[in-house]
Structure 1
Amino acid sequence: MSGRKITTVAGLGDRWVPRELRHTFVSLLSDQEVPVERIAALVGHSDTRTTETVYRHRLRPVITGGAEVMDTIFGVGSETPGGESA
């Protein structure tokens, strides 16, 4: 069964493949400060090197950076017409 068929059957749609979900799983656990040794064991890696260099992506800085840009674009915290704070 193909990767997209697996995710479709699982109710996740056909836009995902299991490999992408693996990266997300590792990154979410890492963001919640689960020790990398535990994450490596959960995904079947014999050591943490692959987990850290291939699968773990830092989510918080990306999300925070994006949110800060959106705040600037939409003027969050600035005055709105009529003198009210946004």
Structure 2
Amino acid sequence: MKTASFATLHFSVAFAVAYALSGSLVVGGLLALLEPAVNTCVFYFHERAWNKHQSAPLKLHCHHQQMYSCQQGKSPAEAVGHV
């Protein structure tokens, strides 16, 4: 029910904005249908890129490595191998 409610709200806002800017019911209707379809395609590619980025190994440099290791329960000296 929540998804249907949000979809209705989304279409209504898209229609209202397009109608307010164009003064045309046809343009408002077309944009209300077109905008969510384009957003769906963009979201698909965004998710692919995001997942690819998330699966990449974490590369930390200099003091960032020490900070991350400290958060994992190591002292800064242990993080850089001085202990």
The TM-score range, normalised by the shorter chain, is 0.3 to 0.5
| Greater length-normalized contact order (CA 8 Å, ≥ 6 residues apart) | 1
Q: What TM-score comes out, normalization by structure 2 length?
A: 0.34
**Structure of higher CA gyration radius:** 2
Superposition TM-score, scaled by structure 1 size? 0.33
Hey, which of these two has a bigger chunk of helix by percent? 2
